[in-house]
Structure 1
């Protein structure tokens, strides 16, 4: 569960988690309140299907303002405004103002605000807050993971053929086609596949045992910075982009320990290394 931490670091992580929960909660309330008008102001980013709303921008501005008040001088890396300069020298906040913006646009209630604190390349605290349900997922390194007041633990899954696996897809059509071929090779080897549209919440779902594993290519740090820590602290085996040192490229993967190696083997057979 996240490795060994000193008492000082655990205390610091708990303090940072409290800040993440507070700030993400305030942004989630804003996102919920302004949705009806926010989705009338929509721009695109990497493609016509990759959208950003006025709600995304307003939430990130609020998060930056509150972090500047509560944690002055600490850099912030956000999906909409970038930043993060100086992060290599200490603590950096990594922010996704709305993870699952397409869901937000359509009114599909599976989206969240994600706020994480990272130190020396590792998440040490984070929160993922759902504006619609009000659920608060949070974790501090060495101190476990929680959904509201309930401690989290991954599923005891030990058979891949009886496992429920979540995934996501890129916005670029060519890459989506390659990802579809991987899913075609995986479908007959697992219980079923889920695709919800929010990486942060899929990672939290692994932590809760709602799914047995999750994988996706092409995520950015703000997509997984908080959710991956929640999954890891709940006992998931974790692989993050650029850290595994193997042929899996920019894959993000969290899985119950009993199926992780089998899932990786099947993904390789299905061609995931070519995605």
Structure 2
């Protein structure tokens, strides 16, 4: 696959699958680097960190080093593409491809030596997701920890195709959500919504990684996921995973999702999405 396309050629499914494989290769290397760094500290040892958006929003040197590794690999392989990263990467390319990267999604879990963190890489073309890779090394080997997708090519866990939930009953559905790191009206509003939603569903999980929440919706491990106050690198990969697994993804208010500026996301199996959207609307 070339770095640029002729004016009369639009990328196709084969091109998107090549990007999937590249994203998977880079995400696997980056996640392996972060995992080795975490392991070297010893079990349960907390990672030294600073804070960024608030006093409870951590960032570690491993977030920055892992992002630098991803950027270096991408700049070598795809010099004409744009790159947007959580830890400050901001390279403007000269074509319609954008790589949105979260080097360690679930940094709090990483700091506390909990397994729910991953490296997430999503590729947009003209603003729409076309390739994705999410690697969560603490979840096991490649067959249990490596998610990927390409537009028109399906979604996979390892090499096995995955499919979103077929649940139809909200009361027996398992949901996931997340909470803002801004300790203000954001969390107050989210807490009030959970109080309304919890009696309507089987249970709600808060696992600490938006990318993994979306991957789990794609794999049918969750029936749905909703969260406000998020960024493109949180969802760029996971959105495509859910869609290619047959699920439905919208903005938090049920409108079409702008992945570049998502603010909030609602993802679920196709049958439960409408019901979940209506329940969330009543809980707002």
Question: TM-score by structure 2 length?
Answer: 0.88
Contact kept, 8 Å, 1:76 with 1:83, in 2: the verdict is yes
- Residue 202 (structure 1) aligns with: 213
SS in 2 for 1:259: helix
Partners of 2:84 and 2:253 lie apart in 1 by: 18
* Other structure's SS at 1:218 match: strand
Residues in 1 aligned to 2:253 and 2:100: alpha-carbon distance in whole angstroms: 17
Q: Name the residue aligned to 1:142.
A: 152
Q: 1:125 matched to which residue of 2?
A: 131
Q: Is this contact kept in 2: 1:31–1:131, CA < 8 A?
A: no
| Range moving further from structure 2, 9-18 or 28-37 | 28-37
Moved more, 38-47 or 126-135: 38-47
- SS of structure 1 residue aligned to 2:187: helix
CA distance in 2, matches of 1:178, 1:242: 15
Deviations 1:193-221 (A, max 9, x none): 01100000000100111110000001100
1:74 aligns with: 81
Aligned to 1:269: 282
Equivalent pairs, count: 263
1:21-54 Cα offsets, whole Å, 9 max, x none, are: 0000000110001124596441100111100011
Task: Return 5+ residue gaps in structure 2 as ranges.
Answer: 1-8
Q: 1:242 to 1:78 in 2, by over 3 A?
A: farther
**Helix, strand or coil: the match of 1:169?**
coil
User: Residues 32-80 of structure 1, C-alpha deviation per residue, up to 9 Å, x if partnerless?
Assistant: 0112459644110011110001110110000011111111232210000
The aligned residue for residue 255 of structure 1 is 268
**1:125-173 deviation line (CA, Å, top 9, x unaligned):** 0100012224110000010000001101011101111100110000112
Q: Are the counterparts in 2 of residues 94 and 222 from structure 1 also a CA contact under 8 Å?
A: yes
Q: Measure how far apart 1:181 and its partner are.
A: 0.4
CA RMSD of aligned residues (A): 2.1
Alpha carbons 1:39, 1:55 under 8 Å: kept = no
Identify the match of residue 193 of structure 1 among 204, 216, 220: 204
Residue by residue, what CA displacement relative to the aligned partner does 1:78-112 show, whole Å, maximum 9, x if unpaired?
0002314247x410111000000000000000100
Tell me the CA shift for residue 265 of structure 1.
0.9
Q: How far apart, CA to CA, are the structure 1 residues paired with 2:52 and 2:123?
A: 25
